[in-house]
Structure 1
């Protein structure tokens, strides 16, 4: 869900009318379910892939489980409150607003509010499958429309969320109301698939992170080399004849390669490979030459690093 931080009433001097403000995490470029899937009018049913709908259902049910296990209810699951962020990640926004503006009374129990969350997930799933925010699961015909595009498993699961007492093949709820734990029992195979997908995405992110770490490491090496390259010293103007002269020759070796015709050679792969050998202190020898070819030095990467 979208992380809630605080709620406060601003001082009267700031806003003309009394207001209650809620502070949540900001997710840039996020879209609501309605904006992502219902912004195009007259979209035919079946536009959203079934695998994506199952992913949405798993994410919503697992998020609601956390809320219900705390003895609360979301009371804000609809197409205008559920956000879609990167990689089709869902986040429930506006949590706590209904509790603050419409606190529980004696007419509805906590169990009724919690089942209302489950039914809201079912209604949202039907709307996504039918590609219409106005799809009404209470009207006949929606199951037939879904049957043409989606599997019986998805159709029956959504019907189970909306009518837990009226579907054969699904056991009756243990109590007077369907609980999120009853729902998760039937979602378990889909949850396993969702976890596997998350692991694959995590591996991809780790791969990208390692590449960026390598880039940062090579940048630090180049920065150190450039600090001593062509830097003059007031104490000794002939410092280039010392040990730092080797580093100057090495930079020429990296960035001033030429081919047999004297044309510049631009080879980023060579630069990266050579810097990696320098960082590792490889024993491989490298031939360094001054630009006028008057000086030739054969040194190892370990000697350069030292």
Structure 2
């Protein structure tokens, strides 16, 4: 570390009391100025022993799959609806509507109570971001006060609940429709579609005695216990947040809880039932007890691969099935949630029962954060070469600058022009352009660092030949750009 004279850097010195300085038996310690970092160089990433990039962790897939997952999500956001759906072009500041649920003949439509419901993706005009719009068909709002619960839900922020944006009524669909706007998570699945929906059979091909045979592959419908616990913890934390605000979720169902990432779930459609049932007088204590009962039905459904697993006719049989497939702790949680409600049963008591699983979930979540930071760190320097190419564009082939028509043909600018030809305009023996991306990236990286490696630059008329280093070319670019 270099030593600097303290007199030259008075602005780095703290203000000391003069009497204290006079009484001191030693002089002020020397000031060490930190050298600026070379931000154009890649920063070493986290040690792989701590963040294994290729390991499939609980919440984050391997690096190769993570990049592909994000690309697919980006592509989904920019997709458009097929022609002929006759959707409105604009809806209260939202445009480019795309249905997110299958529709048409032979498709069973999902309902909210007595009303049919459809989910769309749309772009908000004011910010250009995608949102999910859930439309309740043929619902006539009688009082504006029915929107009061939406104001409460729109202020609630929790990683286990899909955020509510706003709600409004519209006649753009040629009826009286209620529309509630939510945050959009591309390529999400309901727990029903991900785990309970029957999947088509798969076949494995093999050859025996010279003939190809197709063997039917049975797909396991048993959800791993680690995944079950992860779902229980995430839903319990979301319910805890809502109950602490003296509200009720009322949407804990396999068709309303969304799988938005690897083992990552969020409760959707919150607030709609509050608007639909605004005329009914509801006891919040009873609604919160119903939340726990719905939670129990969901646990039964996931463990038994049956939506109606908690129904009375087969309850005891399904309870024994849970005992065979999963540990006694899962069975106890399911019984606690599905049991008779009362003042003694609340979400805090459930969290006390599963506190060990909550700690495990927190460890997995912290590990996922480290993984994602590791992935982000490897992308920090992606704009270096773009900035360098922008400098090239500003400098090269300027028709006139400072009243000098040959500004790009003299001095340092001429060296930059020759280097541009060396990188992008090389020809092979047959006179064809060389389209070698590795050559381009190698040259630009060496230039950005400013290495001492020398290269030979030849003019197009082959009358001039210069031997310069990347360091010298970098100095020419900085000077010309300045």
- Length-normalised TM-score, structure 1: 0.79
Give the corresponding residue for 2:189.
31
> Residue 241 of structure 2 corresponds to which residue in structure 1?
66
Whether the 8 Å contact between 1:278 and 1:304 is mirrored in structure 2 is no
Q: 1:143 to 1:305 in 2, by over 3 A?
A: farther
User: Does the aligned pair in 2 maintain the 1:44–1:131 contact within 8 Å?
Assistant: no
The answer to which of 39-48 and 146-155 deviates more is: 39-48
Query: Separation in 1 of the partners of 2:190 and 2:245?
Result: 25
Measure, in 2, the Cα distance between the counterparts of 1:62 and 1:293: 75
CA distance in 2, matches of 1:16, 1:287: 71
CA shift at 1:61, angstroms?
0.7
Q: Tell me what 1:160 maps to.
A: 336
| 1:10-68 deviation digits (Å, cap 9, x = unpaired) | 4xx65665444323223332221112212117998752222111111111111111100
Choose from 454, 461, 473 the match for 1:286. Answer: 454
In the aligned structure 2, how far is the partner of 1:90 from the partner of 1:279?
Answer: 43
State the partner residue of 1:170. none
Moved more, 41-50 or 22-31: 41-50
Gaps of 5+ in 1: 166-174
Question: Is structure 2 residue 385 aligned with structure 1 residue 218?
Answer: yes
Q: Give the stretch that moved more between structures: 142-151 or 247-256.
A: 247-256
Unpaired runs of 5+ residues, structure 2, are 1-160, 201-217
CA distance in 1, matches of 2:258, 2:435: 50
Provide the residue aligned with 2:255 in structure 1: 80
Residue pair 2:407, 2:413 contacting (<8 A) in 1 also: no
- The count of residues paired between Structure 1 and Structure 2 equals 292
Aligned to 2:354: 187
Whether contact under 8 Å (1:126, 1:137) holds in the other structure is: no
2:414 to 245, 250, 261: 245
- Normalised by the length of structure 2, the TM-score is 0.53
Check the 8 A contact 1:44/1:130 in 2, yes or no: no
Contact 1:45 1:145 in 2 (8 A): no
Alpha-carbon contact 2:413-2:476 (below 8 Å) kept: no
Alignment equivalent of 1:198, drawn from 365, 369, 374: 365
- Does residue 1:295 correspond to 2:465, yes or no? yes
Asked if the contact 2:233–2:361 (Cα under 8 Å) also holds between the matched residues in 1, the reply is: yes
Alignment of 1:101-116 (within 5 A): 101-103=276-278, 109-116=283-290
Deviation by residue 1:94-142 (Cα, 9 ceiling, x = unmatched): 2122222224967x63222212212211210111111122212641111
1:266 is aligned to 2:425: no
**Compared with structure 1, are the counterparts of its residues 112 and 44 closer, same or farther at alpha carbon in structure 2 (3 Å cutoff)?**
farther
Residue 177 of structure 1: which of 323, 344, 348 is its match?
Answer: 344
Equivalent residue number for residue 325 of structure 2: 149
Q: Contact 1:46 / 1:131 at 8 angstroms: preserved in 2?
A: yes
* d(CA) in 1 for partners of 2:240, 2:262: 22
RMSD: 3.5
Contact 1:129 1:146 in 2 (8 A): yes
Structure 1 residue 233 corresponds to structure 2 residue 400: yes
Alpha-carbon distance between aligned partners in 1 of 2:172 and 2:279, rounded to the nearest angstrom? 30
Q: Answer 1 or 2: which has greater strand percent.
A: 2
